[in-house]
Structure 1
């Protein structure tokens, strides 16, 4: 497994401002953050609401696309306009300008209670996306790798992880370490990652949240290698050192179910955060009117330019 240094690295604690609600969309299950440097816009999804959304923070312009099934993760394409998206059991290409959808691959059709969940691209332009049990209990989740070579694309199960809920992944700046979350069992795994052939090896439990602090959901890394993790049921985002996982910063948000984080903005110092209104009682919804909103938090951390899908 990846070695843990005996001495703590001298990673500084970041400075974070107050969260600001950008889009009080009331998303049932907000997720799928993807910053577009070309459009200076943030994409995000409402998985249960089956919609893709895009916001230009500079102008406030909003746009939304509705789907006939769940949509959970998106990434921009590198050579052509549009996005690669994860639907319930499909990986597809979607052109927001024409609203056209083209299926690339179908998987796990033999597991009707499964669906795709979180995902993003690595530095080589491969799209990684995890699957999960819709009931969040059966250990049927796996991690898939979608690659391309010329006009052809391929999909492979890179890790039959057997997680009830798979979230992430996130990579170290040198691309040699990957983190993946086993959300329902409160395990954050660290793995060796081969950036050349895209293989995952030697997974080990790296961190668990304290009791009452929620469950690890979506996450991202910054240029200093710090890991930023959303807390489902914990109402916050925490920032952790990449060696021993010690907490460096905590951002409290006015919603208990925090689902994903991603850096964006012109200088990549804005931390975008999604949340969910699902699984809240009527009393909790009344107390959390911003549940399901998209938030932004100013930081002095620098994100990594989002990687785009090579297909």
Structure 2
């Protein structure tokens, strides 16, 4: 099937949250709402499009990635040091595996579940200097493994090809989107290749998602946009322009999974840029003719 360019509307602000570091987008079909986070302010947010309701929770630590659970209540999340369960209904937080005690300068960043319900989370140097980041696979309490340890400064993603045979993962500081051979049954990561390198002026690859046609949608930190790419060639098919520089994550949601939700950040913007970009840190939405894939849930 030929991969075509999607039709994209104009992005609109749906929550002027002023997030320091918005991230962690996850559409909940059962709640018909979007979960997202402000990492540095330790905040979990939930936006319900039908009513416009905006709800927030403050956690005792950084929170960076979110997935719904299939059997237990609430959410699986990543905190600064590891994985946890959090139930928004009653505020219960259960800390679980913390897989890298020997790297105290790190924190968890982006993450997602694969189609088999395993939670993949990447770490990074909190100071954004040292190549100490890695990628972890969390199967449940007491079952966490280091899957990639390739000297990342900042990790983002992952997302997967439609057939599950490729995992895309971002080496953000090096502007590189990597494609890794992936065994969906074993949950193992193999050889990698460079899928895409961002050009000068295009910022850095941040969070990303895959749509039902296999296209990759990638947030650009520092370039005020989201780009859509052919999953084989990497060719850019379309671009969503945003009114602020630091675009951090994307997820499809809404009743038909055709609304692209986009997070942003105020972090590292100068006073002059913050004055010129009043919607920095906002949550945006744009209507498309693309259809997203339902977010995979954590199997637990």
State the TM bucket, normalised to the shorter chain. over 0.9
Q: Does structure 2 retain, via aligned residues, the 8 Å contact 1:30–1:292?
A: yes
Which sits farther off after the overlay, 106-115 or 252-261?
Answer: 106-115
Structure 2 residue 241 is matched with structure 1 residue 249? no
For the pair 1:14 / 2:6, whether they are aligned, the reply is: yes
Contact 1:87 1:116 survives alignment (8 Å)? yes
Q: Quote the Cα distance in structure 1 between the aligned partners of 2:184 and 2:53.
A: 37
Offset of residue 301 of structure 1: 0.4
Residue 107 of structure 1: how far off its partner (Å): 2.1
CA–CA separation in structure 2 for the residues paired with 1:226 and 1:64: 31
Contact 1:40 1:265 in 2 (8 A): yes
Alignment of 1:23-34 (within 5 A): 23-34=15-26
Task: Name the counterpart of 1:82.
Answer: 74
SS at the partner of 1:115? strand
Residues 71-103 of structure 1, C-alpha deviations (whole Å, 9 max, x = no match): 000100011220001000021000101101011
> Structure 1: which 5+ residue stretches go unaligned?
1-8
Q: Deviations over 1:196-251 (max 9, x none)?
A: 01001111111111101100000000011100000000100000001110000001
Shift in Å at residue 294 of structure 1?
0.4
TM-aligned CA deviation for residue 134 of structure 1: 1.2
* 1:238 maps to which of 195, 202, 227: 227
**Contact 1:137 / 1:184 at 8 angstroms: preserved in 2?**
no
Runs of at least 5 residues in structure 2 that lack an aligned partner in the other structure: none
For residues 138-166 of structure 1, what are the alpha-carbon distances to aligned partners after superposition, in whole Å with 9 as ceiling and x for unaligned?
Answer: 11110000114xxx551100111211000
* Number of corresponding residues: 300
Distance 2:136 2:295 in 1: 19
Contact 2:84 2:95 in 1 (8 A): yes
1:209 is the counterpart of 2:198: yes
The 2-side partners of 1:66 and 1:155 are apart by 26
TM-score using structure 1 length: 0.95
Give secondary structure in 2 for the equivalent of 1:184.
helix
Contact kept, 8 Å, 2:99 with 2:145, in 1: the verdict is no
What SS does the corresponding residue of 1:106 show, helix, strand or coil?
Answer: coil
Alignment check: 8 A CA contact 1:82 1:96 kept? yes
Report runs of 4+ in structure 1 exceeding 4 Å deviation.
none
Q: CA RMSD in A?
A: 0.9
Distance 1:173 1:58 in 2: 29
Instruction: Select 1:66's aligned residue among 58, 82, 102.
Output: 58
Task: Flag the 1:289–1:166 CA change in 2: closer, same or farther, 3 A.
Answer: same
Query: Is the CA contact (8 Å cut-off) linking 2:171 and 2:177 kept in structure 1?
Result: yes
1:191 to 157, 176, 180: 180
Q: Distance in 1 between matches of 2:236 and 2:15?
A: 28
In structure 2, the partner of 1:293 is: 282
> How much has 1:10 moved relative to structure 2?
2.2
Question: What does residue 46 of structure 2 align with?
Answer: 54
User: What is the 5 A alignment of 1:135-174?
Assistant: 135-148=127-140, 153-174=142-163
* Deviation of 1:62 (Å): 1.3
Q: Give the SS at the match of 1:228.
A: strand
Residue 131, structure 1, aligned to residue 123, structure 2: yes
